[in-house]
Amino acid sequence: MTSNVRLIARLDIKGPNLIKGIHLEGLRIIGDPNIFARKYYDAGVDEIIYMDTVASLYGRNNLSDIVKKTVKDVYVPITVGGGIRSIDDVKYLLRCGAEKVAINTAATKNPGLIKEVSRKFGSQCMVLSIEAKRKENSWEVYTENGRQKTGLDVMDWVRIGEDNEAGEILLTSVDNEGTKKGFDYELIKKVSESVSIPVIASGGMGEYDHLNEVVKESCADAVAMADILHYERSTIQEIREYCIKSNINVRDYE
């Protein structure tokens, strides 16, 4: 392991609220996303991901106000996802203060959008967001917060994403999301071995050992956490200290 593993707070948003569910469903209001983002920043989080969970209902991403407030006092990279369908959408969110965009639905319908975003704004800006559900011995790509089948095989799709110059992959296991039972280690390992771009593991973080396994055994480059942080079952500081004790390379934080 050469580069530092990034510790990322994932904040799923519905309207003005931070929410949390299980399998991306049964959403419960947690609170004001800006307050949580600031708390995680103060605690030393490496990055923040904002996902608009109802963007498909509005036909566009509605996180601009939240992002504008966040960047006033949070100085880590912010990724914004949900409902991003065009270069203009990307341009607008970057102007609001996002550093990266995560695209799922629009990319499945038009893979060329991945390359278009990457070429215009840099590959580091283009995150391919994948919602995966297990299907016997494989995984299928889903959209609309894990509700809509695409018929795409995840392993085929990640290679297409890399070929179209995606900078990294946000890989969410819909089956494991919100369960606190751990990541889909097999899925993350197979994707990590199939592409050379960074893979962010998302969905299932419930305890420290889950992070250890997904990094050391499944080769994740970053870990996105929600439940464990939102419900204060652990803190970014404690997770970082655990990583250091477990010989997982993470950024020094003072």
Domain map of the chain by residue range?
A: 6-245
As given in the structure block, the two tokens for residue 133 are 């559900």
**Whether the predicted pLDDT of 88 surpasses 70:** yes
**Whether the predicted pLDDT of 1 surpasses 50:** no
12, 89, 168, 177: which one is catalytic? 12
For residue 159, the tally of other CB atoms under 10 A from its CB is 14
| Residue 131 known to be catalytic | yes
Q: What is the mean pLDDT of the chain?
A: 95
**Whether the predicted pLDDT of 254 surpasses 80:** no
Contact 106, 117 (CB under 8 A): no
Q: Does 101 or 27 have the greater pLDDT score?
A: 101
pLDDT, one tens digit per residue, over 47-78 is 999 999 988 777 778 899 999 999 999 999 99
pLDDT, one tens digit per residue, over 212-234 is 999 999 999 999 999 999 999 99
131, 162, 177, 227: which one is catalytic? 131
Beta bridge mates, 18: 13, 31
In three-state secondary structure terms, 201 is strand
Please report the pLDDT score of residue 26 as a whole number.
Answer: 67
User: How far is the C-alpha of 41 from the C-alpha of 161, rounded, in Å?
Assistant: 30
**Whether the predicted pLDDT of 253 surpasses 80:** no
User: How far is the C-alpha of 43 from the C-alpha of 253, rounded, in Å?
Assistant: 9
User: How far is the C-alpha of 85 from the C-alpha of 44, rounded, in Å?
Assistant: 32
pTM given for the model: 0.96
- Give the model's confidence band at 45: pLDDT under 50 very low, under 70 low, under 90 confident, else very high: very high
Contact 108, 150 (CB under 8 A): yes
**What share of the chain in percent tops pLDDT 90?**
88
| Residue 12 known to be catalytic | yes
For residue 211, the tally of other CB atoms under 10 A from its CB is 26
In three-state secondary structure terms, 9 is strand
> Counting beta carbons within 10 angstroms of the beta carbon of residue 91, is it exposed (0 to 12), middle (13 to 18) or buried (19 or more)?
middle
Whether CATH 3.30.56.10 fits 6-245: no
Q: What is the mean pLDDT of residues 12-22?
A: 92
Contact 201, 214 (CB under 8 A): yes
User: How far is the C-alpha of 127 from the C-alpha of 234, rounded, in Å?
Assistant: 27
pLDDT, one tens digit per residue, over 100-136 is 999 999 999 999 999 999 999 999 999 999 999 999 8
End-to-end CA distance of the chain: 22
Q: What is the mean pLDDT of residues 149-177?
A: 97
User: How far is the C-alpha of 252 from the C-alpha of 240, rounded, in Å?
Assistant: 9
Contact 53, 19 (CB under 8 A): yes
